[in-house]
């Protein structure tokens, strides 16, 4: 065979390989490709009469034969699908369980948004899902309110939750007196929207349900495509800061399929029951439960990742004010460029940080087993 033919074949192989690499490295994530599992779990409807009921929770279950499970918990207004970039990164190495929390997407709700959704209730949902998936222990990976739920679940059930990755929001310990949100808005004015969700829940529901796509686009913004400066600062409106913008640009870090999926999923129940994180009764109930239990620390390994450009708050500074590090003694802290949705906005660096930390955990576990074996010998 002459060299010209060899050169042509080499070129053809390189083109074919490069094309296949491009396809495999950049497939468009389609949430519709992932089947949902559903499990019926116990719940309590506290208002009006502490009624014991059942709710149905949905979750995605990927690579169940893997040795280690990552339980990925979304925040507000997220869904399981907002972990898409982490699913792509970790689906071959880990068992992934990614639920929609109660009141989100296809997961139903007790019907009482005020008082039936403490961190204890939500942690119970997670353990119910893990039991249904035949999982006895997991590393909890959370974003936004999902991070706080991971911390609280690890605090309450260290037998199940062996480590925590908390993205954006630091651990908020319940030590000390209960602090209402209105005591925080002076230092953190962009928490004012939480007063609206709490005190005017029906009005907030009507406002956000009126145009679900606009509501989602208003919130899922990036450093390069930020919201208006006064967004989140009104106690009377969530979308008012966008009133001069006729059409909010698409979510900058989601494909059109992903955005369409979020809109379709939020149309199932609307936003009302997603406000469970913000009501005074639920927040006070979570605090009171921790007081009864009497432990406020999370001793498990923790990876806290704070974005450097979140318009909501400087979370590194917030962590210092909250003394988060004191109550998470085995925490490692990383900062990363990005706004509130840093795990989607800056996924490569986010995933690299998480993978490195997970691999270190695995290595420490192996070392511990080897030391134990030597001691037994």
Q: pLDDT tens digit string along 320-351? A: 999 999 999 999 999 999 999 999 999 999 99
Q: Which token pair is 232? A: 């989140």
Residue 364 pLDDT level (bands cut at 50, 70, 90)? confident
Residue 281: the pLDDT is: 98
Three-class SS of residue 288? Answer: helix
Residue 165: the pLDDT is: 99
Burial grade of 252 (CB within 10 A; 0-12, 13-18, 19 or more): middle
Residue 22 pLDDT level (bands cut at 50, 70, 90)? very low
Residue 376: the pLDDT is: 57
Residue 365 pLDDT level (bands cut at 50, 70, 90)? confident
pLDDT, averaged across the chain: 92
Helix, strand, coil percentages, rounded to 5, for the chain: 45, 15, 40
Q: Averaged over 146-164, what is the pLDDT?
A: 99
Residue 28: the pLDDT is: 87
pLDDT over 90 at 5, yes or no = no
User: Measured between alpha carbons, how far is 190 from 313 in angstroms, rounded to an integer?
Assistant: 7
Q: Averaged over 259-263, what is the pLDDT?
A: 99
pLDDT over 50 at 187, yes or no = yes
**Which domains does the chain carry?**
34-179+257-376 (3.40.50.1820)
Q: Which token pair is 351? A: 């995933």
- pLDDT for 137-151, tens place per residue? 999 999 999 999 999
Find out whether 97 and 72 touch, Cβ atoms under 8 Å.
yes
Residue 17: the pLDDT is: 35
SS3 for 140-184, per residue?
Answer: EEEECHHHHHHHHHHHHCCCCEEEEEEECCCCCCCCCCCCCHHHC
- pLDDT for 34-43, tens place per residue? 999 999 999 9
Find out whether 170 and 315 touch, Cβ atoms under 8 Å.
yes
Query: Given phi > 0 = left and psi -120 to 50 = alpha, else beta, which region is 167?
Result: beta
Q: Which token pair is 229? A: 């400066």
């Amino acid at each position: 065979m002459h060299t010209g033919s060899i050169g042509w074949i080499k070129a053809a192989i390189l083109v074919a390989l490069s094309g296949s690499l491009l396809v495999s490295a950049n497939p468009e994530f389609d949430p519709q490709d992932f089947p949902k599992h559903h499990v019926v779990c116990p719940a309590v409807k506290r208002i009006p009469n502490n009624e014991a009921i059942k709710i149905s929770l949905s979750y995605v279950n990927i690579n169940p034969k893997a040795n280690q499970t990552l339980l990925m918990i979304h925040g507000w207004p997220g869904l399981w699908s907002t972990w898409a970039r982490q699913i792509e990164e970790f689906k071959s190495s880990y068992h992934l369980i990614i639920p929609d929390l109660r009141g989100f997407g296809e997961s139903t709700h007790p019907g009482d948004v005020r008082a039936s959704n403490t961190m204890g209730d939500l942690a119970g949902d997670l353990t119910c899902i893990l039991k249904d998936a035949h999982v006895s222990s997991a590393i909890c990976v959370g974003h936004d309110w999902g991070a706080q739920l991971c911390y609280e679940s690890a605090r309450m059930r260290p037998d199940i939750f062996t480590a925590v990755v908390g993205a954006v929001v630091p651990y908020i310990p319940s030590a000390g007196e209960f602090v209402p949100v209105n005591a925080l808005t002076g230092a953190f004015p962009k928490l004012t929207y939480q007063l609206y969700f709490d005190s005017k829940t029906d009005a907030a529901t009507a406002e956000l349900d009126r145009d679900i796509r606009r509501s989602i686009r208003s919130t899922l913004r990036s450093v390069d495509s930020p919201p208006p400066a006064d967004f989140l600062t009104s106690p009377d409106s969530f979308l008012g800061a966008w009133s001069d913008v006729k059409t909010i640009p698409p979510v900058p870090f989601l494909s059109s399929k992903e955005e369409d999926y979020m809109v379709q999923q939020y149309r199932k129940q609307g936003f009302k029951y997603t406000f469970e994180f913000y009501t005074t009764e639920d927040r006070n109930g979570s605090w009171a439960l921790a007081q009864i239990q009497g432990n406020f620390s999370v001793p498990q390994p923790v990876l806290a990742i704070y974005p450097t450009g979140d318009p909501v708050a400087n979370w590194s500074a917030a962590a210092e004010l909250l003394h988060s590090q004191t109550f998470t003694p085995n925490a490692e802290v990383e900062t990363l460029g990005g706004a509130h949705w840093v795990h989607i906005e800056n996924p490569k660096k986010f995933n690299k940080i998480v993978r490195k930390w997970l691999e270190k955990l695995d290595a420490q576990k192996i070392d511990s087993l080897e030391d134990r074996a030597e001691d037994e010998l």
